[in-house]
A = this chain, B = another copy of it.
Amino acid sequence: MSKPKVFEKPIGVKDYLPHAVAKMRKVERQALDCMSRWGYEQIVTPTMEFYDTVGVASSTSDQKLFKLLNNRGTTLVLRSDMTAPIARVVSSLLKETPFPLRLSYHANVFRAIEEEAGRDAEFYQTGVELVGDPSAEADAEVVALAIASLKAAGVERFKIAIGHVGFLNGLFEEALPGQPEAQESLKAFLLGRDYVGYREQLRSLSLTEPVQRELEGILRLRGGQEICDQAMQLSEDATAKSAIRHLCEIWDVLKAYGVCDHVLIDLTMIGDFSYYTGMTFEGYAADLGFPVVSGGRYDNLLTQFGRPAPATGFAIKTTRILELLDGEEEEQPERVLIGYDAKGRSEALAEAQRLRAQGAIVVTERIEAGDADGLKACREGFADVVTFIGGSKGEQAK
């Protein structure tokens, strides 16, 4: 193994320079503020968790977890999402707090392997969990909040696609009873949005023509509430029908929120987290090929931590959103450069303090006695340059 060069950092992780940090901080603040106004309170959990608890409960596959050993020889993981850690907190520190619990977070999460696909091994998420409410109302609340948070963060053009794991589970069990492998392979194609592969796989399964037509037909099940009516005709399976009814209720609530312009029903959608049990959703922004938000219902995860409860939530991919916000600038306070020599020091530093108290950004620089030009190198970017030299104040051209 050759040694990395001194100035290198690991593949898949990033440095964020001041301009990018300002943007990220703004997105973070605006999204968290929005979540706070909806009654979601922020929590912070450790970067490291036990592999045997949070690591195993997370939906991240084993090979994608960053693992390390602590001094006692116990395996730890770098958290791969915030849902499992929050489930742990809900079941321990918050175990006496009554449901429903509304919690928010902004956190970096870690995925190994992804680096090789050119994806980030560490990235930031801003999200919520609504724990203890099984209703379609709760599902609609988190979808509406995801929309409000994206807007608050400055994302203008986006669509949220909503699906339900129960629909595909029911439909596939009806069409391919007792063939879990065939079912899983079809789901894998849908998860990867590989519709050509899905069709080819269907043909390879030697299904009856009506069944094949039915399973091909779901690829067209994308649109408004009318999709629910069409889907109801497609399957007699009770699980599938119940899923459709739930989605239909969610749509009704989203209509009341007035956000249906941003939503479409997509029954081919499978959330990428194995712990999802009901509604799932993903948000796509114009011109970006990957989701900017994903979420869904996970009614079994809390059971693994000893406090069974239904739950639903989402995570905005904060670092991905930054790409959408290029060119948007926060208004910057005035920047002033103050140069001084030994004699002008007290006056210069007092002036700096005064200006900072007024909200200005002030950089102070010692220059040699009388050398008013000593500041030349760093005048760029300053609205004002002031010198205190030999005891007298002077304004300078930039």
Contact = CB atoms under 8 A, between A and B. Distances in A.
A9 B50 CA distance: 6
Interface string A88-101: 11011110001010
Nearest to A342: B252
A237 interface: no
B47 A110 contact: yes
Interface residues on A, range: 35 or more
A44 B21 contact: yes
Interface in A25-54: 25, 36-39, 41-50, 52-54
Nearest to A112: B71
B9 A46 contact: yes
A225 to B, nearest CB: 16
A4 interface: yes
Given A15-B89, A47-B108, A70 B102 contact: no
A21 B107 CA distance: 13
Given A71-B116, A356-B37, A362-B37, A6 B42 contact: no
Total copies of this chain within the assembly: 2
Contact of A50 (B4, B16, B92): B4
A272 B3 CA distance: 28
Contacts of A92: 7-8, 15
A349 interface: yes
A174 interface: no
A88 B14 CA distance: 12
A115 interface: yes
Interface string A72-100: 11101010000000001101111000101
Given A13-B48, A44-B16, A122-B48, A5 B53 contact: yes
Contact of A17 (B14, B94, B356): B94
B46 A10 contact: yes
A201 interface: no
A205 interface: no
Contacts of A9: 45-46, 49-50, 54, 88
A38 B356 CA distance: 7
A54 B379 CA distance: 32
A89 B20 CA distance: 14
A191 interface: no
A273 interface: no
Contact of A70 (B10, B39, B141, B362): B10
Give me the 8 closest cross-chain CB pairs, A-B, nearest first: A13-B46, A39-B363, A18-B41, A7-B92, A16-B44, A68-B68, A137-B366, A37-B356
28 contacts: A3-B52, A6-B88, A6-B304, A6-B306, A7-B88, A7-B305, A9-B46, A10-B49, A10-B76, A11-B72, A14-B46, A16-B43, A16-B44, A17-B93, A17-B94, A18-B42, A18-B43, A21-B41, A21-B44, A36-B361, A37-B359, A47-B110, A48-B66, A48-B122, A66-B68, A70-B115, A255-B346, A258-B353
Given A5-B53, A48-B121, 6 more contacts: A7-B53, A22-B42, A37-B333, A38-B361, A48-B110, A257-B353
